[in-house]
Amino acid sequence: MKRAVLLTMLAVLFALGGCGSQARVWRLTDVRGHLPDLAFTLTDDTGKVVDAADFRGKLVLLYFGYTHCPDVCPLTLTHLHVLMQRLGPLADRTRVLFVSVDPARDTPAILHAYVSAFDPHITGLTGTPAQIEALAKRYRVAYNRGPTLPGGGYEVAHSAGIYLFDRRGRARLLATDADPIGAIEHDVRGLLGTAP
């Protein structure tokens, strides 16, 4: 009799916990409680001043880069474009924020042309050096401008992380540009509560 009760209790626990967030196995790095909520004031690629509250209600994927980056940033943004295609209608519940680490060259107009070439679910963000530094520091993102090259250009080395925030703006998961799209898709669906 005691055994039957115990088994029933276990069965109930599994039924309750099985689909809950407690039992979820993330494929990306769980950063819940280790990083602060999303907060910033920046200018979006239409020239409008925006802050984190403007994106509440959406799952946010935050990535730092710059438009004079022809190889790695396009590769990551292409992965995120494929992710959006795989999510189908759910993509509208997410937003990719591409934050420029090169505000001297990345005007809202250039950012707009750049992000629009990848996917409609991406917003480009730029701002004053201090505004961008504040957001980067908040998530321990490093970047530094390289030396001026012949022709006047320069590169900007930058962290490759993609930070995932839930729809309440809480930092939840950290991906890198080396994570497979399937892993990011799995966890995005999990955060949206639509995992199969």
Partner 1 sequence: MSRLQRIVLAFAATVLATPAFAAGIAVQQPWVRWLPADLPAAGYATLVNTGDMPVTLTGVSSPDYGAVMLHRSLNRGGMERMVTVNSIPVPPHGRAALAPGGYHLMLMQPRRAIRPGQQVTLTFTFGDGRTITVQAPVRPANASG
How near is the Cβ of 4 to partner 1 at its closest, in Å? 52
Q: What angle do CA 102, 69, 100 make, to 5 degrees?
A: 30
Any contact of residue 100 with partner 1 (CB under 8 A)? no
- Residues numbered 69-108 forming contacts with Cu ion, rule: CB under 5 A: 71
Structure tokens at 54: 């403007």
Name the segment binding partner 1 (CB under 8 A); options: 1-9, 26-34, 36-44, 143-151. Answer: 143-151
Positions in 3-42 near partner 1 (CB under 8 A): none
Distance, in Å, from the CA atom of 156 to the CA atom of 95, rounded to the nearest integer, reads 24
Cβ proximity to Cu ion: between 109 and 157 the closer is: 157
Distance CA 152, CA 21 (A): 50
For position 160 contacting partner 1 by CB under 8 A, the verdict is yes
Question: Which residues are within 8 A (CB) of 97 and not within 5 positions of it... i.e. 6 or more apart?
Answer: 55, 60, 61, 62, 63, 122, 123, 125
- Interface positions with partner 1 (CB under 8 A): 67-72, 74-75, 77-78, 81-82, 109-110, 113-114, 116-119, 142, 146, 149, 151, 153, 155, 157-161, 176-178
